[in-house]
Amino acid sequence: MTLSMYQASVPAFLQMLNNLSALLDKAEADAARRKIDPAVLLNYRLAPDMFPLIRQVQIAGDFAKGTSARLAGVEVPKYEDSEKTFADLKARIAKTVAFLQGLREKDIDGSENRDITISIGKETMTFKGKPYLIHYALPNFYFHVTTAYDILRHGGLEIGKRDFIGKV
């Protein structure tokens, strides 16, 4: 049996986005307990040239919705990137989860050879569906989810691998 494009994408995105939302719940509660201004944690970054937590969460969601939409051949939902609070980020994740849940296997399966063209700044990149998912989109998605986790962990949140992976 082969692994379908849907199975390799949407369930992984859903699992990790839900885990990320749970991490944000823990971070918000921890910030309140330790009397840390949430804005400090939300704007925390691991290095001066890296994006802060807010942007890591936004980009992770963008990869989930963008990848799935492109593979399904539908328009990519656009979000304004205006989140400033934990609640805002959780609402954005929930909106992305709802979009993903609206996609069906038949929408994405068979997209292995679909031409996918994306713009990154001034550069345009074109992929076939399978290499786009496996070699570009999933690594980028996991990078940003991992970086969000790392920011929270480095900020003192007591979390571990089980929090990152969640229930499988």
Contacts of 152 by beta carbon, 8 Å cutoff, 6+ apart:
23, 26, 27, 41, 53, 159
Q: Note whether residue 34 is domain-resident.
A: yes
Query: What average pLDDT does the segment 78-87 reach?
Result: 97
Q: Note whether residue 98 is domain-resident.
A: yes
pTM of the model: 0.96
Q: Note whether residue 165 is domain-resident.
A: no
Contacts of 44 by beta carbon, 8 Å cutoff, 6+ apart:
52, 53, 151, 154, 155
Distance CA 142, CA 125 (A): 20
Q: Note whether residue 167 is domain-resident.
A: no
Q: How confident is the model at residue 1 (pLDDT cuts 50, 70, 90)?
A: low
pLDDT tens, position by position, 10-51: 999 999 999 999 999 999 999 999 999 999 999 999 999 999
Q: Note whether residue 94 is domain-resident.
A: yes
Interior/surface letters 109-122, b for 16+ CB within 10 angstroms, e for the rest = eebbebebebeeee
How high is the pLDDT of residue 59?
A: 98
Per the CB < 8 A criterion, the answer to whether 16 and 141 are in contact is yes
Q: Note whether residue 166 is domain-resident.
A: no
Percent of the chain's residues with pLDDT above 70: 99
How high is the pLDDT of residue 63?
A: 98
How high is the pLDDT of residue 26?
A: 97
Above 60 in pLDDT, residue 111?
yes
How many domains does the chain fold into? 1
CATH number of the domain at 118, please.
1.20.120.450
Above 80 in pLDDT, residue 168?
no
Q: Note whether residue 20 is domain-resident.
A: yes
Average pLDDT in the chain? 96
How high is the pLDDT of residue 3?
A: 80
Q: Note whether residue 124 is domain-resident.
A: yes
Query: What average pLDDT does the segment 64-81 reach?
Result: 97
Distance of CA 64 to the CA centre of its chain: 5
**What is the domain range of residue 14?**
5-160
Distance CA 83, CA 9 (A): 25
